[in-house]
Structure 1
């Protein structure tokens, strides 16, 4: 067989002859058990003698090697390379970065970068060579440690053998793509046979050129006009943040970037990209030599600054403003450092993309989306993708070149090479001029075939488990997003009201830190333990800094107040430490805290300890059956002796929300054992393996009014402990459930179940800047941000959660012929890989359920739960800077402009899915108002009537307003 002969010929004849001349390096080693050190430290270290055959490596350790040799005079004019094998075979057990004598990176080395290191294209002879190799080992390689160095040679490459090797590979690849009955396939097979016959086994190097001459006619055949060019792009694809700790992700970028830079020097016309801007920032900080090379390549057109996103974010789980800032910080970096911009979005290895992205990307200046992932379920890889607001974005899925049998021409017009090597580019260079489908080029192609239009989320791979895995990481991200919103709001308010300096620099640093941890592996919960810990540490550090900035912005005063950073006015019960003097009504609680009533406008401050003023108090009573009934006139809840909700009534309509015989707030344990990728994949067992936590260990009434009524329930399952507080407050339209779980399960998923009375017609799920609409009943796990709304012809219900995303909705027929609809929040999972201790420990969740809720109610509940009222003793009361007069128009962000002009930036959107007219009123003197893009540029003047700005929004439209303040603003409007 030809295939077998070629494989043997390459392995047994050409490979041994590739490096006919070689000398060994003198090797020294320096082993570090802990964190890596900068190159300048390693250059001055004391190295111990080390020999080929010696071993090295511990998990997450670093070993530095120094290599010394002198090029023999007889090698003058030859290509000289460093041929190194640090051990580990073909698996990605070790990775290394080769540096020159001054510490500047040359290229990566290892499974992802197998090429030898170019020392000299034409050696002078008598050259002194010194290299440093920074090598590391991941924890995944623990079973293969220690590694054994197999080779460290300075060698001459035989150029004729090199050419012949790749001529054969290229033509053989083309021959395999052709049908056997095609005449060209026969000619290629014959040429390959004759070329191998032309090589003398005793003189491979001397006869390789003759074999190349045999193949030259077939390599020289021109491309048919009908052949479609394929853009070959080298893509930096380092180990993602999540697959490795932060410091290893930085080193992986250095390996990838330096390798692509080196390849560009050897292969003119080869173009490279790196989709995550964060990677450039790492190079600027840690590897300035590489970064300067990148700058030059961008200027020369050899590197395309694509993407525009700061990190390869999980667009389904990151918050609304976070997605905006991914573009803001990404595009500003590209402009500032490279003088370049990107008109597209490039996502790599993502499992799903939010349908909010088309509008966000377009408003940030992008016009197309490229996803480096194939979806075999789609017949076309290029299509028009319509977002929730109607914005359409040209979208292309890519990952491999389509075969000649594919009828999707657009799939065959782009081929991304993940971390390419010389062999890949040699093949691409040869195929650039070959007759056969598809042809290849190293230069950009700008054509595209647009396929059918699609709507909804872009689901590319199963990832339902990612909505829940690593709950602490998701909570940390949400906590930081809320605090960033608060800091910007209160700092902008303080700057306008009091002239307090705005913390531009601190916010930029913290935003970038938080955005970095939104990488799809990290936020999706698919991170290794070290990377997960890095994320938690980053979140805690950011939260501490942001909390200090909030306190600084609120400033000193003399009165206790509540500060409402949510975009909706609030009148609700708050809990204080100790007794509040002068409160109109207060309720002491068993834990020593005091409940009082407070109110505050949207984005403003308000008083604490106000009177009920017509608000009915909440009461708690016990029935003869032992049930506890909580009632505040807006909601009536019946809780049985096991702490399960047996009745949830909206007194205004009399509708019973809980299904007949149903038990609300039931906790379910599901066996969850995915076959592959357990952190991302949800594989719940059948109902036969489900365990319902029905029986309570303890149920007690903690508080019985007039402001707060709470029932506490304790349950257990093995070593896991579940404590829940079910609370109803005076004036509160929702039942609040606080759940604390000491989670000790493995390969198990925890769900909280609400069986609802009746057949739902629609389910709405909150996403960034809007919501999606689904038919109920399929039981598919979906992601929601903040809220879920269930709609039926005669009833509605709204659910909100402070941090959970995953949920499912199913419909079940009852024995009496009726139909129930059940919502199940997914609270926790316990995947065993890649973090064997994922989600173990104590977690806290807060959910609300609101019978009779409108969509607007659900949106507002989500924001209120997400952004608790902030109590401050001795802080000033701040009036809102802006307000809107339409209930479905949400002011998402209030801040000062990024250019430090002092202009106020307001970002708002229509949340109900309907066109809306609203008036935004500024509580300060307005000089000028403009509509801008999300980057706060391309300003278009907008008419204003004094402080009033009239707006017309389409469904789910995002609008960014830039408002310049009048110079004399000592007496703001409304003072």
Structure 2
């Protein structure tokens, strides 16, 4: 019987930060590289695999002579650049565009420095992998993928073996291998690993080539001389072994598989690769909130900077954006973004992400100011310019600052760009005695609209009802009734369709959570430690625009302030939570019980969606989750949108949002729970969460859920502007599309010149034909999307010709 070839992959897994700070991780990158290069001088056959563009940038900056030696080994084929990402990110939590930038900046760096790009995606230590990644990776020009988690038997059963074609919903495929028995092997383990690998039952039947990783990892180190001695003498010392050894790389392994195996004999998996450490979807709320905020701030700043550049106001700030993105990408490293690092790590991350967000805000403000100064605001009174950062029309409640009533006779009123009086109302400000103004605005796609604030009160038309009582809120669309003792929503009624959507919503339940930081071995959180009870409930806003119910509730030493808001002229249901959490080793869930029967749960994932069975298990998601089935035989669903959460579960018609967890920091030993030990505990103190509830008739696709979630996360920008003449109109849409199921996420300048890059994705799994409008430039382009497609186009700004490109913009 022919022996199985063991492809010996030298590796030194490096967490740039985890149980140490980034400065220590930086040095370990240098030390590992130096050790590997020294071994290569001693051993002619030894090969090494290393990913993460960030590491190579560090080496280039700190030890250029070492970097040049690596270049030579890469050219020889003994040092393999793998991964194609800036770091090894968490593969569930970053948004779709973050994954694109992980590849864009890293692949361009590799091409510039090494004359090649990565063909093998490599995320060995990530805690699960979104099912949309094959499309993103293939459009970053990767053809293969290697990872370790989830592992067979303990975490995921693989039909046909752990070698497969991994396929996304659009049909994109990568030849993929799970790394068996781990991504490292110290000297004393390697021989046993080599003996076990050929007989693993998780291998594909008949598989003749198997990955065998070795070397010291996590804090770096890499292969050792003892490793190499064991490999060199293995066949001689173990003549009956079923495996033969070959120093190799990931590229050589996949090439051997393709050469020796019929493509059709390799199974195809069209699914996400889950699960490992379900607590990672929720651990450390602050890093996840910052991640979401910086993602959207950067995309918004890019859009407006592009518009300002096209209008001739400013050069496009390529270098500044690249710096911001790389700071964000670094902090998407799996042990940072998953919340599994030391407490001190997150102090560094807050500084770095805060700086990135500020730099993006500076760029955004510069673009807004330069557009605004050219808009005619001389019509009298004080002026507000409301900017829509999204490339589709948006209707949204806006908040104007107190300064809009300066020098005016109170009360004031608002008018739009055609002098129509707009409903408005004063609301609480940010300090005692502070007053802001709320008004509803209809804004053009990726554009702006001017509103004026004038002396005196004027009545606007109030055609639609808006009511509030001691325990209820109601408008034309919804009636919400609250239990005054518990704060629960006892009835959520769809007034339009006369349906009872749910009973028992807004339940804040503390769950017992004695698991470690990752929640190793935990599939769901079911045991309640207790529930919050109401200490105060009252109407705090009631006017022409909105009504708001404020509910204060307590549990243990913790307090939650929840505000539900309905609007007269908008059907959104907003929920704003301020949480002061003081409990230890518990999880906080917000529960919404519905009357939906036979429902399917759909989750937002990077540049796509994932349908899952509502079995109560903790699942990763992003900006929205939806449960759609039927109520009284009528197709119906409920979507919950959020601005910073990533963990959810659905069971028996109940949707639960995981708001926070409070394990010890970086606790990796589930068997040593010490509730009385004085370790630093996660997620203590105040945090804020914004949600929107979207009950809907029919399917989530037709209800506009995806775009509504983007609107929550990238709201309009309210910009007070002084009175002056200008050559710009009072309302303008600068870029947009007309299709409901095409979402344009990115508008930017190309990395290598002065072309316009526009990226979008099909959101509903349906074909779409739409038109891309640039009305200011009198241009219109036809775009066709296949189901689930991520599409990037490049427009030459001189000839105004459009072509489709990959994610590397070529």
Normalising to structure 2: TM-score of the pair? Answer: 0.83
**Cα distance, 1:321 vs. partner?**
0.6
Task: Sort the Cα spacing of 1:780 and 1:705 in 2 relative to 1 into closer, same or farther, 3 A.
Answer: same
Q: Output aligned runs, 1:175-214, within 5 Å.
A: none
Counterpart in the other structure of 1:115: none
SS class of match (2:256): coil
Structure 2 vs 1, CA of residues 403 and 273 (structure 1 numbering), >3 Å: closer, same or farther? closer
Alignment of 1:203-602 (within 5 A): 226-373=2-149, 375-377=151-153, 378=157, 380-400=161-181, 401=194, 402-406=196-200, 408=203, 410=207, 412-418=209-215, 419-431=222-234, 435=239, 436-443=241-248, 444-445=252-253, 446-448=255-257, 449=261, 451-459=266-274, 461-556=275-370, 557=373, 558=377, 559-578=383-402, 579-580=404-405, 582-583=413-414, 584=421, 585-591=423-429, 592-602=435-445
* Gapped regions of structure 1 (runs ≥ 5): 1-223, 812-820, 926-945, 970-975
Provide the secondary structure at the position in 1 that maps to 2:310: helix
Structure 1 partner of 2:775? 923
Summarize the Cα distance change of 1:510–1:796 in structure 2 as closer, same or farther, 3 Å threshold.
Answer: same
Aligned to 2:484: 641
Partner of 2:674: none
1:784 matched to 2:621: yes
2:537 is matched with 699
Whole-Å Cα distance in 2 between the matches of residues 679 and 530 of structure 1?
A: 21
Q: Which moved more, 1:873-882 or 1:799-808?
A: 873-882
Structure 1 residue 318 displacement after superposition: 0.2
- The alpha-carbon deviation at position 548 of structure 1 amounts to 0.9
Where 2:597 maps in the other structure, the secondary structure is coil
Residue 715 (1) aligns with residue 553 (2): yes
Specify the SS of the correspondent of 2:131.
coil
Q: 1:681 to 1:250 in 2, by over 3 A?
A: farther
Instruction: Provide the aligned C-alpha RMSD in A.
Output: 2.4
Q: Structure 1 residues 772, 614: closer, same or farther in 2, change over 3 A?
A: farther
Count the aligned residue pairs.
Answer: 703
For 1:772 and 1:735, how far apart are their aligned partners in 2? 24
Query: Are the aligned partners of 1:881 and 1:923 in contact in 2 as well (CA < 8 Å)?
Result: yes
Structure 2 equivalent of residue 887 of structure 1: 740
Higher relative contact order (CA 8 A, sep 6+): 2
The answer as to whether partners of 1:382 and 1:411 remain within 8 angstroms in 2 is no
Aligned equivalents of 2:75, 2:786: Cα separation in 1: 40
Q: Which residue of 2 aligns with 1:860?
A: 707
CA distance in 1, matches of 2:637, 2:60: 53
* Per-residue deviation, 1:951: 2.4
Deviation of the 1:609 alpha carbon: 6.3
Deviations 1:335-380 (A, max 9, x none): 1111121112011211200001000001110111111457222452
**Residue 197 of structure 2 aligns to a residue in which SS?**
coil
Does 1:841 find its partner at 2:685?
yes
Query: Separation in 1 of the partners of 2:321 and 2:85?
Result: 18
Question: Structure 1 residues 616 and 830, CA, compared in 2 at 3 Å: closer, same or farther?
Answer: farther
Tell me if structure 2 keeps the 8 A contact 1:596–1:609.
no
Larger Rg: 1
Deviations 1:857-904 (A, max 9, x none): 2112210111121111229878444321210110011111111x2211
Report deviation, 1:678.
Answer: 4.3
Alignment counterpart, residue 906 of structure 1, candidates 742, 758, 762: 758
Structure 1 residues 611-690: aligned runs within 5 Å: 616-617=463-464, 619-622=466-469, 626-628=470-472, 630-642=473-485, 643-658=487-502, 662-674=503-515, 676-678=516-518, 682=522, 686-687=526-527, 689-690=528-529
* Alpha-carbon distance in structure 2 between the residues aligned to 1:726 and 1:966: 50
Give the corresponding residue for 1:962.
Answer: 794
Equivalent position of 1:207 in the other structure: none
TM-score, length-scaled by structure 1: 0.69
Distance 1:878 1:410 in 2: 64
Could you report, residue by residue, the CA deviation over 1:648-673 in whole angstroms, capped at 9, with x for unpaired residues? 22222111111xxx321110000101
- CA–CA distance in 2 between the matches of 1:649 and 1:616? 21
CA contact (8 A) 2:150 2:276 kept: no
One of 897, 911, 924 as aligned partner of 2:750 = 897
463-472 vs 243-252, greater mean Cα deviation: 243-252
CA distance in structure 2 between the aligned counterparts of 1:274 and 1:265, rounded to whole angstroms = 18
1:311 shift after superposition = 0.9
Q: Secondary structure at the match of 2:75?
A: helix
Contact residue 310 and residue 515 of structure 1 kept, 8 A:
yes
Could you tell me how far apart the structure 2 residues matched to 1:861 and 1:718 are?
35
- Counterpart residue number, 1:949: 781
Aligned to 2:186: none
